[in-house]
Chains A and B, each alone.
Chain A
């Protein structure tokens, strides 16, 4: 594995070139990603019309959460890595990758990293614009951002999302079409991950349950860590759970890969 490390920057560079070959696609994607924030602003503005706080949030702190969520999504959410892996397995293009002296997980990891870097660059302008526009109408609480706790949680989120994506995609060894499975997990990630609303708006019993599932550590935990709303002990426990889930899915992906390869057959060049 160590022998293959020098090849990773090349894979990363190829990944970047692939992403920027379709610049407009990326720019559009980044532009559209700002839309939910705009909708949240209008909707929650109406909710807060007669109230100063909803749960532990003011309008400013809630919109800061949604704005930070945009950054979390840019940095850690896979684009179409799941469908790419599925295609490689289904159409047999995996053959050429298997011949290379490079572990598949590392190869995909380098491409994932390249995709995230490219997307971050493309998303930077619309996200920054959103921050500026929103801060003009609502007092966003950007002063309380906690990068010290937020960055490790962001890294954990990227690792968790990558490993979960890897697990889901590798089911292509057994399933013909994994898109339904992927969209089903997306819906769980959106609801139980704190993408639609911060999880601490849930009733306390449901909030407790959400903390034991992996989804909370994909979006809610890194966003809450960046917003600085977690106590030190809650952050430490969250980080431990986040990296444990990431490790669990990485090991599961390794098991799936080994089992899948035994089943995999491809003909032709």
Chain B
């Protein structure tokens, strides 16, 4: 079972099962919405405090910076809902030998691992982030055109791919390192770069996080498309780098998979 329509059908089934499982624990759902919201408020508070002392940072005004931070939050929350819960379970699957059960199934293991779990809570927070983006645009008196909006959605997908590529690479380290729980800390640490305005980065930092790991593009390009219209060069660059990062991450996962030796008896 590996043709794209079949995989899509399987994914929908998994989403439905995971959603049912999640909603069985409603109190847990609401608690996690509050926890994630607290982290978003923290980021907005940071923006608020810094802009008390300055009017502009690297050419970004306060509401523009809010569009950037909220766009980053939007992408991260969608990723957290659909792909992160499955990916972060890989170290445990490898350490305890439970990956055997995944490998026995007639479906690509990368697909099964990436989509096996779902969290509904982050979707509520993604919605809140979208409202914050809309409010900031309203403050700036900007009404995006339909093509800009559709392009924004496409760029959010490219952002999701970049998140996916980085986390897949990090969790795949588990094939070499027995206890790789620190990778989640690594993911959160590295993705702080995505909240930076691209113009603030200079030299090797800008080159590294634009071409090798396109984190400076993840939220900047979609936010810029809403705020300043689309720029073909940046857009093509972002789509190409996010696709190639995903490809490299998949190859790295396959390489790791070859090293896997079952831990079960």
Contact present for B49 and A180 (CB under 8 Å): no
Partner of B200, one of A43, A180, A183, A201: A43
Complex Cα distance, B49 from A194, in Å, reads 12
Q: Is B50 an interface residue (CB 8 A)?
A: yes
Contact present for B185 and A32 (CB under 8 Å): yes
Contact present for A25 and B190 (CB under 8 Å): no
Closest 8 CB pairs of A and B: A46-B200, A35-B189, A29-B182, A187-B38, A32-B186, A22-B179, A46-B58, A24-B177
Q: Is A190 an interface residue (CB 8 A)?
A: yes
Q: Is B196 an interface residue (CB 8 A)?
A: yes
Contact present for A190 and B201 (CB under 8 Å): no
Beyond A187-B42, A203-B52, 8 additional contacts (C-beta under 8 Å) are A24-B180, A28-B177, A29-B186, A39-B192, A42-B200, A180-B34, A184-B35, A190-B42
Q: Is A97 an interface residue (CB 8 A)?
A: no
Contact present for A29 and B185 (CB under 8 Å): yes
Residues of B in contact (CB 8 Å), total: 40
Contact present for A201 and B58 (CB under 8 Å): no
A174-204 Cβ-contact flags toward B at 8 Å (1 or 0):
0001001001100110110000110001110
Partner-contacting stretch, out of A5-13, A47-55, A214-222: A47-55
Kindly list chain B residues whose C-beta atoms are within 8 Å of the C-beta of A201.
49-50, 52-53
Complex Cα distance, B53 from A42, in Å, reads 17
**Known contacts A177-B28, A180-B31; A42 and B205 CB within 8 A of each other:** yes
- Interface positions of A from 200 to 254, Cβ below 8 Å from B: 201-203
Contact present for B49 and A197 (CB under 8 Å): yes
Residues of A in contact (CB 8 Å), total: 37
Q: Is B150 an interface residue (CB 8 A)?
A: no
**Using a CB–CB distance below 8 Å, which chain A residues touch chain B?**
22, 24-26, 28-29, 31-33, 35-36, 38-39, 42-43, 45-47, 49-51, 54-55, 80, 177, 180, 183-184, 187-188, 190-191, 196-197, 201-203
Kindly list chain B residues whose C-beta atoms are within 8 Å of the C-beta of A51.
53-54
Q: Is B57 an interface residue (CB 8 A)?
A: yes
Jot down 11 A-B pairs with beta carbons below 8 A, ordered by A.
A25-B179, A29-B182, A42-B201, A42-B205, A45-B202, A46-B197, A54-B50, A180-B31, A184-B35, A191-B42, A201-B50
B150-190 Cβ-contact flags toward A at 8 Å (1 or 0):
00000000000000000000000100011111110110011
Complex Cα distance, B185 from A203, in Å, reads 31
Question: Is chain A's interface secondary structure helix, strand, loop, or mixed overall?
Answer: helix
Contact present for A54 and B54 (CB under 8 Å): yes
Contact present for A180 and B35 (CB under 8 Å): yes
**Known contacts A187-B42, A196-B42, A197-B46; A55 and B179 CB within 8 A of each other:** no
Partner of B53, one of A32, A54, A187: A54
What is the chain A residue whose CB lies nearest that of B200? A46
Complex Cα distance, B40 from A196, in Å, reads 13
Partner of B28, one of A22, A36, A55, A180: A180
Q: Is B39 an interface residue (CB 8 A)?
A: yes
What is the chain B residue whose CB lies nearest that of A57? B53
Contact present for A183 and B35 (CB under 8 Å): yes
Kindly list chain B residues whose C-beta atoms are within 8 Å of the C-beta of A187.
35, 38-39, 41-42
Partner of A46, one of B39, B46, B57, B189: B57
Contact present for A39 and B193 (CB under 8 Å): yes
Q: Is B32 an interface residue (CB 8 A)?
A: yes
Complex Cα distance, B52 from A36, in Å, reads 22
Contact present for A184 and B46 (CB under 8 Å): no
Contact present for A46 and B49 (CB under 8 Å): no
